[in-house]
């Protein structure tokens, strides 16, 4: 009888899908809810918080599905888990996941590609633009100091301004749609040529920087975009221009942003992302006058996180069932 029970247990173990859910401490609540939602007798879920790599998790070699919330996974880690068949990131960004290595090994990959994410970032970009143009921070601080409205107006209209958008992904397209009706001129710079549109003018990066009143890099972080907006390019921007970064901190030379010459040249800056997150207490960016700084959270709307959660569940369920994941990236694209 004991032998029979052991055989049954082994058979049940063989039919159980093994998942590793790994993430940073700031994602604990999201991941715990995710684990609670997908829990069933057919899967074994291991939740690990604070790993540097998934290979540090007990039983990694037997893992079949990895759900990674900011935990990098490269070819070496994949090779250490020969049964791995799917990697899922609940977020839109997937820096640290070697997608090419995964596809080369026949491992499917899916991310949190939901419309609410693109739309939330685009709305946040509009918020940062208007808050910067209308000098809301300055007006608020003067009120708190008890000052009356004196001197020339500081606020500027968005109407008639030139908005420079670097990149033409989903977020950029959502922002272009939202700018419709504001009577702005939109300059677009993209690595590859995009279909002509009456909504924007395509140009090279130098022209965009020289002519734009507001500059927004809306790009993933890659070797090509790392430090894209260097000190020399920041100084090549139109004097008094507003810089808004909602993409990745390393796209902009952070050190240069605090350089006195750059500070004097540019207008207000608005940053939601930084090279080191959270932004260190000693960062000179904290002392920049009129700067808007948020902790990589301005687009984390309730609607966005709700949609990301639902998509993560759908991707996990598809991976368990062995069916195509809704937001799987196609190899070679």
Give the range of the structural domain holding residue 84, as residue numbers without chain letter: 2-111+303-321
* Residues 168 and 286 both lie in one domain: yes
- Identify which of 327, 322, 316 has the alpha carbon closest to the alpha carbon of residue 33: 316
* Residues 159 and 282 both lie in one domain: yes
What is the C-alpha to C-alpha distance for residues 170 and 182, in angstroms, rounded to an integer? 20
Residue 170 lies in a domain: yes
- Identify which of 82, 74, 70 has the alpha carbon closest to the alpha carbon of residue 106: 82
* Residues 168 and 289 both lie in one domain: yes
- Identify which of 256, 203, 200 has the alpha carbon closest to the alpha carbon of residue 228: 256
- Beta-bridged to residue 67, according to DSSP, are 21, 88
Residue 156 lies in a domain: yes
* Residues 95 and 151 both lie in one domain: no
Residue 15 lies in a domain: yes
Find the catalytic residue in 85, 113, 173, 248.
248
What is the C-alpha to C-alpha distance for residues 108 and 130, in angstroms, rounded to an integer? 41
Q: What average pLDDT does this structure show over 301-311? A: 97
Residue 257 lies in a domain: yes
* Residues 60 and 141 both lie in one domain: no
* Residues 81 and 168 both lie in one domain: no
* Residues 173 and 283 both lie in one domain: yes
Q: What average pLDDT does this structure show over 213-234? A: 97
296 included as an active-site residue: yes
Q: What is the mean pLDDT of the chain?
A: 94
- Identify which of 149, 124, 128, 152 has the alpha carbon closest to the alpha carbon of residue 139: 149
Predicted pLDDT at 14? 55
Predicted pLDDT at 93? 87
Predicted pLDDT at 333? 61
Taking the model in full, what pTM does it have? 0.89
Phi-psi region of 121 (alpha: psi -120 to 50; beta: other; left: phi over 0): alpha
pLDDT, tens digit, 9 for 90 and up, residues 117-131: 999 999 999 999 999
148 band by pLDDT with thresholds 50, 70 and 90:
confident
Residue 333 lies in a domain: no
Share of the chain above pLDDT 90, in %: 89
pLDDT, tens digit, 9 for 90 and up, residues 151-202: 899 999 999 999 999 999 999 999 999 999 999 999 999 999 999 999 999 9
* Residues 163 and 92 both lie in one domain: no
Predicted pLDDT at 225? 96
* Residues 35 and 79 both lie in one domain: yes
Q: Is residue 136 predicted with pLDDT exceeding 50? A: yes
- Beta-bridged to residue 164, according to DSSP, are 187, 215
* Residues 49 and 85 both lie in one domain: yes
Residue 90 lies in a domain: yes
Q: Which two tokens stand for residue 255?
A: 């050190």
Find the catalytic residue in 142, 201, 277, 300.
277
265 included as an active-site residue: no
**CATH code of the domain covering residue 17:** 3.40.50.720
Q: What average pLDDT does this structure show over 124-139? A: 97
Residue 298 lies in a domain: no
Whole-angstrom Cα Rg for the chain: 23
Total domains in the chain come to 2
Question: What value, to the nearest 5°, has the Cα angle with vertex 54 and ends 52 and 60?
Answer: 145
* Residues 177 and 229 both lie in one domain: yes
Find the catalytic residue in 296, 300, 303, 333.
296
* Residues 95 and 181 both lie in one domain: no
248 included as an active-site residue: yes
Residue 282 lies in a domain: yes
């Amino acid at each position: 009888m004991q032998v029979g029970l052991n055989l049954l247990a082994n058979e049940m173990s063989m039919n159980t899908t093994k998942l590793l859910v790994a993430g940073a401490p700031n994602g604990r609540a999201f991941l715990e809810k995710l684990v609670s939602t997908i829990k069933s007798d057919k899967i074994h879920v291991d939740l690990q918080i604070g790993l540097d790599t998934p290979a540090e998790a007990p039983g990694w070699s037997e893992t079949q599905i990895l759900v990674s919330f900011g935990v990098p996974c490269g070819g070496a880690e994949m090779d250490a888990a020969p049964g791995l068949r799917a990697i899922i990131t609940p977020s839109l960004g997937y820096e640290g996941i070697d997608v090419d290595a995964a596809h080369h090994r026949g491992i499917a990959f899916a991310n949190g590609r939901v419309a609410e994410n693109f739309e939330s970032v685009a709305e946040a970009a509009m918020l940062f633009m208007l808050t910067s143009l209308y000098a809301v921070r300055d007006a608020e601080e003067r009120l708190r100091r008890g000052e009356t409205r004196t001197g020339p107006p500081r606020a500027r209209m968005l109407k008639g301004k030139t908005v420079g958008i670097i990149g033409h992904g989903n977020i950029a397209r959502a922002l272009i749609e939202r700018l419709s009706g504001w009577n702005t001129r939109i300059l677009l710079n993209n690595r590859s040529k995009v279909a002509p549109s009456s909504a924007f003018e395509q140009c090279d990066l130098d022209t965009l920087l020289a002519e734009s009143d507001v500059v927004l890099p809306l790009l993933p972080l890659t070797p090509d975009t790392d430090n894209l907006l260097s000190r020399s390019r920041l100084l090549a921007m139109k004097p008094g221009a507003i810089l808004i970064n909602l993409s990745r901190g390393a796209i902009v030379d952070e050190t240069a942003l605090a350089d006195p010459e750059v500070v004097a040249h540019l207008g207000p800056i608005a940053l939601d992302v930084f090279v080191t997150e959270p932004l260190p207490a000693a960062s000179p960016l904290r002392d920049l006058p009129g700067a808007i700084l948020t902790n990589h959270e301005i687009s984390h709307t309730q609607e966005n996180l709700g949609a990301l959660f639902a998509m993560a569940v759908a991707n996990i369920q598809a991976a368990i069932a062995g069916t195509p994941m809704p937001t799987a990236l196609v190899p070679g694209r």
